[in-house]
Chains A and B, each alone.
Chain A
Amino acid sequence: MNKSTLLAMYERMHLCRSFEQACIQLYMEKEIRGSLHPSIGQEATAVGACFALRPDDYMTCTYRGHSACIAKGIDVNAAMAEMLNKRTGISKGKGGSMHWTDPTIGLLGENAIVGAGVPIAAGAALSAQMDDAPPGKSKVAITFFGDGAINQGAFHEAMNMAQLWKLPLILLCENNLYAEMTPLADSNPLATVADRAKGYNMHAVKIDGNDIVAVYDTVCAASERARAGEGPTFIEAMTYRLTGHMVGDAETYRTKEEVAEARKHEPILRAGELLKRDYSVSADELAALAAKSQARIDAAVKFAKESPAPDPSEVYEDVWA
């Protein structure tokens, strides 16, 4: 892992974290409507995966997908404006937190429906396959989903067709041990989620999703397989969300001790330790990257607050092509 890539990923993880923390604050101040599903603690799966891909690779992700979208390269000013439902937002304020969509970075959308993004990404992968690019040059599609989505019918249908047709698809399961408020053991009989892939004859790996280097290397390998025409890869990435399912979640399903323990192994902390230990980066340098990211988010919040709301007449726009 080269130092500049790791530093860039470290900075990007801070950008994700600062963005989510700012959103929580704005939500408590009632500036953000609807529900907010922060991805705090899951920055490495997002950033490690997206840095391993090309800018024009396709992506679908969940309503907990802010980090994935920021990792893929979304404009944080427009993203924050979208959170405040302003006209200058990514989706002109119409989508809100759960529906960021930006085809210029291959983002075919976050999705508010659990599992729905998996067949959509499979379709994008089929499209990439039909492009008939020279070997090694094909686009790939990645789809992020959680340990809840693996129980949806649409997920299974997409797994089956992806392997059947050897689609250039990367299925990245962020296993954070809870599907909304339900622990993993109460929703599925397998100890290892990646074992589901065996039922589809699909290549699968299970990794530490809070180890950004492991995520990066695994997605690099999966994308190489995909671009070589070898088919899809299922990646089970173990992680943990440090906040509740949504802001306002009473979190009665887990102990404060469990969360505190998880915080000691969270991805940004670990990446910082790695940089200090193996790449001779100082604590000051790390703090400077964190501060830089924070400043960008502060500017994004200012931009969003100063932007206009959509006019009511805009309900009639963008419905039909």
Chain B
Amino acid sequence: MRELTYTQALREALSEEMERDGKIVLMGEDIGHYGGVFRVTEGLIEKFGPKRVKDTPISEAGFVGMAVGMAMTGRRPVAELMFMDFALVCADQIWNQAAKLRSMSGGRVTVPLVIRAQQGGGRGNGAQHSESFETLFTHLPGMKVALPSTPADAKGLLKSALRQDDPVMFIEHKLLYNTKGPVPDGDVTIPFGKADVKREGTDLTIVSYSRQLLFALEAAETLQKEHGISAEVIDLRTTVPMDMDTIVTSLKKTHKLLVTHESHSSCGIGAEVAMRVMEQAFYELDAPIVRVAGLDLPIHSARPLEEKVLPQPSAIVEGALKLLK
């Protein structure tokens, strides 16, 4: 199977979907003539023209609000937020408008809007350019949320996002763009709400997503090689809807759960998964759930500080060893 980068996979998804559906329009800062700061939209303005690939001023509230209006009037806009941190700049248009207009109107309007944003730390960008916000989108009702960890998942999930009518927060990661992986040919979509067992195992279940999923796989490899421990690694892929069935099935085999995510610990997806497991599969557990997550602190630029706040593969290994004691 051919190998693509995460960036190439996203670009293919956009290009194929824009060919298939003339209603798809891209909007964002520097996405057109420059090709996007992370190169995802490179070449698309040449292929589809400036009407469908729109460079906007630095006006998140303005252009995300416009995307909401476009979505309600027959288009499928894809608004790009250059950094997830900027979601706070247009928070009203996302959480008060896009997420609520359909239900507040009793279903009279639909908002088929996809917002793409990259998040995460690990590059020394500092506290205003390193956040992960999937928790906010998972908590406030009305948006679907995807966080692909591989190029194949990125392409398949983005295609699905563009073929359904709910507002979607499509979350990429700045350190996933250059990762490579196999991507099948052809029109392959991946459904929302279906987690993926990325590595089979028997001794414990590790649940993660996005870049942290790669750390989990690294940790699983270390656990096998250095400690003879067999970890099953589950990639949530989407947090709204969230697939608990795959996790429960795994727990029936391993009876031990570790959740790991880059975003801050308090009130995070780890806490949510743990609570849902309590509600749905408590009696499958042989030990308390272990959470390996970001500290509740700003993600500073200096590497030693960043690596202290953001959990590294070694922290996942430590957590697993603690779980199995």
Contact = CB atoms under 8 A, between A and B. Distances in A.
A60 B97 CA distance: 13
A97 B1 CA distance: 56
A103 B141 contact: no
Given A101-B101, A157-B59, A157-B63, A119 B69 contact: yes
Contacts of A124: 69-70, 72-73
B69 A120 contact: yes
Contacts of A156: 62
Contacts of B105: 90-91, 94-95, 99, 101, 109, 318
Interface string A282-316: 00000000000000000000000000000000000
Contact of B97 (A113, A130, A317): A113
A154 B57 contact: no
B25 A154 contact: no
A271 interface: no
A52 to B, nearest CB: 20
A318 B150 CA distance: 32
Contact of B164 (A160, A319, A321): A321
Interface string A148-169: 0000011011101100100000
Interface residues of B, number: 41
A101 to B, nearest CB: 4
B305 to A, nearest CB: 32
A92 B106 CA distance: 5
A93 B107 CA distance: 11
Interface string B46-89: 00000100001101011111111111111101000000000000
A123 B66 CA distance: 4
A60 to B, nearest CB: 8
Contacts of B109: 101, 103, 108-109
A116 interface: yes
A195 interface: no
A156 B63 CA distance: 11
Contact of A116 (B92, B103, B104): B92
A164 B23 CA distance: 22
B284 to A, nearest CB: 28
Contacts of B67: 123
B165 A321 contact: yes
B141 to A, nearest CB: 7
Contact of A120 (B51, B56, B68): B68
A137 to B, nearest CB: 16
B61 A154 contact: yes
Given A95-B104, A109-B101, A321-B110, A158 B62 contact: yes
Contact of B106 (A89, A120, A157, A164): A89
A124 B66 CA distance: 7
A172 interface: no
A321 B106 contact: no
Q: Which residue among B73, B74, B97, B110 has the maximum number of chain A CB atoms within 10 Å of its CB?
A: B73
A119 B112 contact: no
B102 interface: yes
Interface in A94-110: 94-95, 99, 101-103, 108-109
A128 interface: yes
B17 interface: no
A161 B106 CA distance: 31
Contacts of A127: 69-70, 73-75
B100 to A, nearest CB: 9
Nearest to B59: A157
Given A90-B106, A91-B105, A101-B108, 13 more contacts: A95-B106, A101-B105, A119-B93, A123-B68, A123-B71, A123-B77, A126-B66, A127-B73, A130-B75, A156-B62, A161-B63, A318-B102, A318-B105
Top 9 A-B pairs ranked by shortest CB distance?
A: A123-B69, A157-B62, A119-B65, A92-B106, A123-B66, A321-B165, A318-B107, A101-B105, A157-B59
Interface of B: 25, 51, 56-57, 59, 61-75, 77, 92-93, 96-97, 101-110, 112, 141-142, 164-166
